[in-house]
Amino acid sequence: MRISYTEKVILHCLTKIGNQRTIFSILHLLNGKKTSQTIQDAHLFHLTEFFHLFPRLQRNEFTEIYKRMEKVNIIIEKENLSFKLTNKGQKIINGSSNPLPAYVNGWQYHRYTARFWERLSLLVQVVSQLNKQNQRYIPIQTKKEVHYWLKSLLKQLKWKREDLAKQLFGELSALLGKDESIRPILLVIRLSGYSKIGLTAEQVSDKLRMNEDEYHIHFLNILHYMIQQVEKSRTEFPILQQLILDDDHSFSLLTKSTSKTYQLLQQGLSIDEIAAYRNLKKGTIEDHIVEIALNIQDFTIDKYVSQFNQQQIERASKNVSTKQLKYIRQSVPGANYFEIRLVLAKNGIR
């Protein structure tokens, strides 16, 4: 039975989550919802690469997709909008591999993928026009901050037009030629330059006869690949490495609000003190600490959970074979939900 690319993605997520969460937890994951529950689920269920892959997927669209899969007996509802694969659905998923290409990592790169593309596409266009000494063109990107960034970069580089064009072409050719699994055409066809207008995502998917969602994912795969490789070998790509520099030169995986909490924790403030200082609820600060435990490797949770409770929670999580907190708490009544979430987050209990 043929299913759509988006259905494959949803089924793959469902095999990991099962009926431990509602079907809409997958929508929240694909949308990249910045809640503590979604962020923790992405890590606990090994689905970080799927985070924020379809930010524009609407609830009504998602509902139509899962209702169709239910109608054709690919998935079945267990209780309260939690689903599992049927035997038919399991056969379909067994006959297909992970729907994501090798370099896609939504959680790792979602914060700056769009900015990377905006900078890259404008840089290529402007350098191409400069090389031909043409000043009459419409910039492909309209955001002022992207224009300011490029003007600053060109002043900083101080290269001759032809040298700049040659260097940029050389870096892109070397980068996109490093891995044979990468299909440069999926990106190059989108670029604009002298006497050339790049195609939109919809136009490319039509031209290449690809499902639009599938093309979107493969396009992301190239961008994530480029970011990853440039981060590894910055000196090899002196121009392209400028595309991944933040104003503060950091690509923290923490959300902005959690970063502020982390700074205050490092100054020795308690949860209650931070909540009062930031005028936030205690539960919000606890959510931040769970996010910190997920992403900061050397962050210790001993201050918040006793060694005894940590051991009990780890043991209970493995024994009950579930990531539903209420069942773990039944086995460890001396621990609260914050402590359970924190131990699961820190230790990545599977």
Categorize the per-residue pLDDT at 158 as very low, low, confident or very high, splitting at 50, 70 and 90: confident
Categorize the per-residue pLDDT at 246 as very low, low, confident or very high, splitting at 50, 70 and 90: low
Could you tell me what percent of the chain has a pLDDT over 70? Answer: 97
- pLDDT per position as a tens digit, 69-112: 999 999 999 888 999 999 999 999 888 778 899 999 999 999 88
- pLDDT per position as a tens digit, 190-241: 999 999 999 999 999 999 999 999 999 999 999 999 999 999 988 899 999 9
Across all residues in the chain, what is the average pLDDT? 91
Rounded-to-integer distance, Cα 281 and Cα 292, Å: 17
- pLDDT per position as a tens digit, 53-77: 999 999 999 999 999 999 999 999 9
* All structural domains of the chain: 5-100 (1.10.10.10), 113-244 (no CATH), 256-347 (1.10.10)
What token pair was written down for 155?
A: 């002043």
pLDDT at 321: 67
Q: pTM of this prediction?
A: 0.85
